[in-house]
Structure 1
Amino acid sequence: MTNAASSKKHGLVGIKSRQKKSPMHKRRNKEKARIRREERRKDSPLFN
């Protein structure tokens, strides 16, 4: 379940859900995503 969904469920709608993610955070997530993609590419049968 996403944060938005869980917060709706618990009635914490409002300020929390509207907070912007910091650029730092976004960049870190992008890095992580890139690494995950690389791993998946390595594991896929096309690249063996």
Structure 2
Amino acid sequence: MEQYFCANGIEDDAINVNIAVIYFTNVALLLWHRRSTDEKRGGTAIKN
């Protein structure tokens, strides 16, 4: 993430936090979607 911020000239910590939150939210949603799709296809069930 630090390299991304430097490459784009983003130095404001508040903006860095907002971008990181959005990024990790998207990663979590993608992971959840993949796991739930695998479960529907008869794969491993999602465990809490």
- Taking structure 2 as the reference length, the TM-score comes to 0.49
Q: Which has the larger radius of gyration?
A: 1
- Taking structure 1 as the reference length, the TM-score comes to 0.49
